[in-house]
Amino acid sequence: MALKTEEMILNMGPQHPSTHGVLRLELEIEGELIKNVKPHIGYLHRCFEKHAEAMTYPQVIPYTDRMDYLASMYNNFGYVVAVEKLLGIEVPERVQYIRVIMGELQRIASHQVAIGTYGLDLGAFTPFLYLFRDREKILTLFEETCGARLLYNYMWVGGLSHDIHPDFIRKTKEFVQYFRPNIQEVNNLLTFNKIFIERTANVGILPLDAAINFGMTGPNLRASGLAFDIRKEDPYSIYDRFDFDIPVGKGTVGTVGDCWDRYYVRVLEMEQSLRIIEQALDQIPEGDVQSAIPKRIKPPKGSVYTRVENPRGELGYFIISDGSTSPFRVKVRAPSFVSLSVMGELCKGHLVSDVVAILGSIDIVLGEVDR
Amino acid sequence: MGLLDKQFSDSNIVVAKVDDLINWARLSSIWQLGFGLACCAIEMMAASASSYDFDRFGVMPRNTPRQADAIIISGTVTLKMALRIKRLYEQMPDPKYIISMGSCANCGGPYWDHGYHVLKGVDRVIPVDVYVPGCPPRPEALFEGLLKLQEKIRNESLRKKSA
């Protein structure tokens, strides 16, 4: 006998411990089953495009920091690469290497937050504390270099705001040595934990064709089984010089493209980032990091689109220049915004408590969704 | 050192002002509403995680406003969010305290000029007790803000204010 149930609308957020910021999810539920999920956004709309129109090119960089605040270095990176392409300037080798090192350190720090808070959402408190302990070490490296812990304004058009600290290379090598065994610690604590696997394996399965149709990029796409990484496919900066692998989801404990795979791809990516950092630290040349910074940034008329592999996926900057000192328009292709659109598809037919697991696994940052 | 080490032989009484006792109890376990808005929320998380450990001040995140004593406005308040923040504040039981964390919550911060969707300071919707400057403030700065709040609570009185 089928039990008769009534449809109900349940609001999750904007104040909810597991929405990772100010997001409202409108759940259409029938009993415990999810019929549909509608994300409501705009609670953190901070007018990035309006600011970009009003500022000069270098002044936009601090605002890019504040979009994806877990990966500020990478947002700087994407923007300066775009403006440099628009200007057609060459950047010194040393700057390129430092940018790659900083970018990869930022990727590790971002994934640490993603993994830690994911455990927190599913009831595991300890991995969060362990990962934040290690994240502090990365933040200390950043702080010694540019003075800021979270929002750096470090990468400038044509160069960097500061050269690295004399001890930076030694300390970063120490960090790499220190952190590598700790990835195994995370695996022991969380990844292969029975309870964690029960909550995430075979939940929120995203098949590859759906992932491509929704425009997913980054770890979310790779977890569905496609080895697509812009660092390999369309190398920017000097990423073509490094040897690293692209981890993909294999369905180790469930189905390819489930929450566990999306989580585990991030764990594996931290290891690959460590490899890139090690290679870059060995090859880093001497030089001046501010020699190529233009006195006055006034690009010619035209437009440019560049994309970089942000910790969350493809971060694209589309800049239109009208020949003046401030951009006519800066459009950002934000990976979190695209990833969020898949929520409805992933949640259908799951239980209410799985929404938390699915939302955490696609790893969104609301600052970037709303901009 | 304290009362506990002394071990009185007989039962004893301690004389203290009710104000002092209640204020001491209030300021020693400020439970904050676990509520993050933007970038500052990450620093707030770092403050409550290992190596900073907000818990040693008795601050613990609670997930419902009905169990919270303080709310830390950690980040940019947009016009869309302002009404929700006001409602959250109204749902909290008295006595309630507000720490405004970071330039955005203090005054709009970098979004002052062109932020058409940003509230220029959370004190336009709810009364703020302590402002913590910075963009974002370091966890230590947040601690300083909390100590200031504790100082404020320490000087509170139950006595009815004469008109």
Confidence check: pLDDT of B163 > 70:
no
Label residue A106 exposed, middle or buried (CB < 10 Å: 0-12, 13-18, 19+): buried
Within 8 A of B41 by CB-CB distance, chain A residues are: 21
Is the peptide bond prior to A285 cis by the omega test (within 30 degrees of 0)?
no
Question: Is A120 inside a domain boundary?
Answer: yes
Following DSSP, what letter does each residue of A47-74 receive, concatenated? Answer: -HHHHHHHS-HHHHHHHHHTTSTTSHHH
A293/A295 Cα distance (integer angstroms): 7
From B63, B80, B114, residue closest to A17, measured CB to CB: B63
Is the peptide bond prior to B95 cis by the omega test (within 30 degrees of 0)?
yes
Question: Is A347 inside a domain boundary?
Answer: yes
Q: How many domains does chain A have?
A: 1
Question: Is A320 inside a domain boundary?
Answer: yes
Pairing of strands A159-160, A155-156: antiparallel
* Any B CB within 8 A of A149 CB: yes
Question: Is A232 inside a domain boundary?
Answer: yes
pLDDT-derived band at B3 (thresholds 50, 70, 90) equals low
Mutate to test the interface with A, among B31, B33, B64, B76 (most CBs of A within 10 A): B76
How many CB atoms neighbour CB B81 within 10 A? 27
Sign of the torsion formed by the C-alpha atoms of A183, A18, A200 and A263 = negative
Return the H-helix or E-strand segment holding A277: helix A259-283
B95/B108 Cα distance (integer angstroms): 27
From A63, A70, A133, residue closest to B42, measured CB to CB: A70
Contact A179, A274 (CB under 8 A): yes
Interface of A with B in 61-80 (CB under 8 A): 62-63, 66, 69-70
Q: Which residue of B has its CA nearest to A20?
A: B36
- Percentage of chain A exceeding pLDDT 70: 100
* Any B CB within 8 A of A47 CB: yes
pLDDT digits (tens, 9 = 90+) for B71-119: 999 889 999 999 999 999 999 998 899 999 999 999 988 898 888 889 9
pLDDT digits (tens, 9 = 90+) for A274-288: 999 999 999 988 888
Q: Which residue of A has its CA nearest to B44?
A: A150
Within 8 A of A136 by CB-CB distance, chain B residues are: 46, 50-51
Q: What is the pLDDT of residue B34?
A: 80
CATH code of residue A52: 1.10.645.10
How many CB atoms neighbour CB B156 within 10 A? 13
Sign of the torsion formed by the C-alpha atoms of B92, B96, B102 and B106 = positive
Question: Is A370 inside a domain boundary?
Answer: no
Q: Which residue of B has its CA nearest to A150?
A: B136
Q: Which residue of A has its CA nearest to B120?
A: A46
Q: What is the pLDDT of residue A264?
A: 92
- Whether the ipTM is more than 0.95: the answer is no
> What's the average model confidence in pLDDT over A122-128?
89
Q: What is the pLDDT of residue A162?
A: 87
Confidence check: pLDDT of B1 > 70:
no
From B39, B117, B138, residue closest to A47, measured CB to CB: B117
Question: Is A152 inside a domain boundary?
Answer: yes
Pairwise CB contact (< 8 Å): B41 & A44: no
* Any B CB within 8 A of A99 CB: no
Confidence check: pLDDT of B154 > 70:
yes
**3-state SS, residue A329:** strand
> What's the average model confidence in pLDDT over A138-144?
91
- Percentage of chain A exceeding pLDDT 90: 39
> What's the average model confidence in pLDDT over A13-31?
83
A197/A95 Cα distance (integer angstroms): 42
Nearest C-alpha neighbor of B58 from the set B21, B28, B88, B93: B28
Pairwise CB contact (< 8 Å): A128 & B49: yes
With both helix axes pointing from N to C terminus, report the angle between A93-121 and A72-87 in degrees, rounded to the nearest 10. Answer: 150
> Which domain range does residue A37 map to?
7-364
Q: What is the pLDDT of residue A305?
A: 93
Q: What is the pLDDT of residue A174?
A: 93
Question: Is A149 inside a domain boundary?
Answer: yes
Q: Name the residue with tokens 């970063």.
A: A172
Q: Which residue of B has its CA nearest to A53?
A: B114
**3-state SS, residue A330:** strand
* Any B CB within 8 A of A14 CB: yes
Exposure of A163 in the CB half-sphere (CA atoms within 13 A)? 13
> What's the average model confidence in pLDDT over A166-177?
91
pLDDT-derived band at A79 (thresholds 50, 70, 90) equals very high
Nearest C-alpha neighbor of B71 from the set B98, B39, B106: B98
Within 8 A of A113 by CB-CB distance, chain B residues are: 42, 45
Question: Is A84 inside a domain boundary?
Answer: yes
CA B124 to chain centre: 17
Between these two residues, A2 and A180, which has the higher pLDDT value? A180
pLDDT digits (tens, 9 = 90+) for B27-79: 888 998 888 888 888 998 899 888 888 888 889 888 888 999 999 998 899 99
Q: What is the pLDDT of residue A138?
A: 92
- Per-chain mean pLDDT for chain A: 89
Exposure of A120 in the CB half-sphere (CA atoms within 13 A)? 19
Following DSSP, what letter does each residue of A147-164 receive, concatenated? Answer: S-SS----EETTEESSPP
Distances from the Cα of A371 to the Cαs of A159, A335, A340, A359, B41, in angstroms? 25, 12, 14, 19, 16
Between these two residues, A38 and A292, which has the higher pLDDT value? A38
| pTM of the predicted structure, to 2 decimals | 0.90
Q: What is the pLDDT of residue B4?
A: 67
